[in-house]
Amino acid sequence: MSSDQIGQTSVIDGAALQGLLDALAAQGYTVIAPVARDGAIGLEPISGIGDLPRGWTDVQAPGRYRLERDHCDPGTYFGTTVGPQSWKRFLHPPRQVLWTARRQDDGDFVVSSPGAAGTTDRHGDTESSRQAFLGVRACELHAIAIQDRVFEDGPFPDVGYAARRATTFLIAVQCGQAAETCFCAAMKTGPAIASGFDLLLTEFPARSEFLAEAGSARGAALLAKVARRPATEDDHATARAAVARAAAMQTRTIDTTRIRERLQDQPQHPQWESVGDRCLTCGNCTMVCPTCFCTAVSDGSDLSGETAWRVREWDSCFTLSFSHLHGGSVRRTNAARYRQWMTHKLANWVDQFGTGGCVGCGRCITWCPVGIDITEVAGVFTAAEDA
């Protein structure tokens, strides 16, 4: 398959899917995909399709999550939605050494950067030089695109992020179902996938087959390495029906019409205090969010004074220290910190990057210990203006 065949579709089976993984491994890629581990769906390196969570589905609700066996036989490979981890952690690592300084024999220090990828440092940070993501959903593709704007297209590009992003192969999967907490349709980020991938798969569970579409030249080249048959109109109709079913399952929504102005113009709305009374400021919502990118930088050294380093780690606007200026934190209350997070996500982000920061994945709803629902909070501001 040549690059001029981008967009053409084929049907492959499970053996061919394994062939795709083998071909990626032969090219030096580490394939990262959903796996069932410790009662949840995580993202880990896999060696074959046997590592995928075939036969599992997830049940999500505000503050609740559990895995269940699905009722298909032998079961779907991609029957779950999104778990607590996002692909962000592989492009914007939770912990990254920015530089290391080592004392030389003459007493001077030599400062070195660990590089963008393919390194292991004294803190145990390891990054693969080439990585392939298998099972990326529509909301997550949009999240990656948003992070691209922040780290590649902004005024201060992140060289490490850009290097990791350039060597990442994306195999997206269409959603055939939605969790109770999903609202990507309202945010216009899914569930249908139209672009942003190297390969796109739509699973046909009853036939143990996949509709495969190449979205790039390297995707077309990879697909050419496995057995496949031309897709028929029936195949496309089945795929469209699956995506439509996922959209129809979504009940949560956010009215995005003037949401930016509604939030920015009402900083003293009583809803902030109401949410603040419930919020634990644990930061779960920021940790599971696929677009949040706040970090803190710290310096350290060993006891001998021979080596020093600077480390960047994920941080959260829900911590007191994040907004600490001379004299103390400027956002002392739970209400102020929740207002900062939500207003930035849905309003101020537009001013900074030209797009909202929410993709409707619903993770912040599921993984909030007290079940705070961002769609319900936003709905109060919509009602306040419309009243």
Q: What is the SS3 assignment for the chain?
A: CCHHHCCCEEEEEHHHHHHHHHHHHHCCCEEEEEEEECCEEEEEECCCHHHCCCCEEEEEECCEEEEEECCCCCCCCCCCCCCCCCCHHHHCCCEEEEEEEEECCCCCEEEECCCCCCCECCCCCECCCCEEEEEECHHHHHHHHHHHHHHCCCCCCCHHHHHHHHCEEEEEECCCCCCCCCCHHHHCCCCCCCCCCCEEEEEEHHHCEEEEEECCHHHHHHHCCCCCEECCHHHHHHHHHHHHHHHHCCCCCCCCCCHHHHHHCCCCCHHHHHHHHHCCCCCHHHHHCCCCCCEEEEEEECCCCCEEEEEEEECCCCCHHHHEECCEECCCCHHHHHHHHHHHHHHHHHHHHCCCCCCCCCHHHHCCCCCCCHHHHHHHHHHHHHC
Domain-terminating residue out of 188, 214, 248: 248
Confidence check: pLDDT of 84 > 90:
yes
Q: Is residue 110 part of a domain?
A: no
What local confidence, expressed as pLDDT, does residue 72 receive? 64
User: What mean pLDDT do residues 143-172 have?
Assistant: 94
Indicate whether 123 pLDDT > 80.
no
Q: Which of 39-43, 73-77, 140-144, 379-383 has the lowest mean pLDDT?
A: 73-77
The structural domain count of the chain equals 2
Asked if 110 contacts 101 with a C-beta cutoff of 8 angstroms, the reply is yes
Is 205 found in the same domain as 84? Answer: yes
Determine, yes or no, domain membership for 226.
yes
**pLDDT category of residue 125 using cuts at 50, 70 and 90:** very low
42 belongs to a structural domain: yes
Is there a domain that residue 188 lies in? yes
In a domain, 112, yes or no: no
Neighbour-count burial for 143-167, b at 16+ CB within 10 Å, e otherwise:
bbebbbbbbeeeeeebebbebbbeb
Same domain for 270 and 191: no
Based on the domain organization, do 288 and 206 belong to the same domain?
no
Mean confidence (pLDDT) of the chain: 92
Same domain, 242 and 269: no
Q: Give the domain-ending residue among 227, 248, 269.
A: 248
For residue 119, pLDDT over 50 is answered with no
One domain for residues 159 and 187: yes
Residue 273 covered by a domain: yes
Tell me the backbone φ, ψ of residue 56, rounded to 5 degrees: -110, 150
| Average pLDDT over every residue of 173-197 | 96
The answer to whether residues 186 and 289 belong to one domain is no
Residues 221 and 267 in one domain: no
Are 43 and 77 in the same domain?
yes
In-domain check, residue 41: yes
For residue 108, the one-letter residue type is D
* Separation of alpha carbons 378 and 374, rounded Å: 6
Q: Tokens at residue 205, please?
A: 């569970």
Q: Is the pLDDT of residue 60 over 60?
A: yes
Both 274 and 129 in a single domain?
no
Q: Is residue 106 part of a domain?
A: no
| 288 in Cβ contact with 84 (< 8 Å) | yes
Print the domain residue range for 52: 3-94+123-248
Closest CA to 288 of 349, 355, 359: 359
Report which of 374, 286, 375, 364 is spatially closest to residue 63, judged by C-alpha positions.
364
What pLDDT sits at residue 40? 96
- Taking only the tens place, the pLDDT of each residue in 277-323 is 999 999 999 999 999 999 999 999 999 989 999 999 999 999 999 98
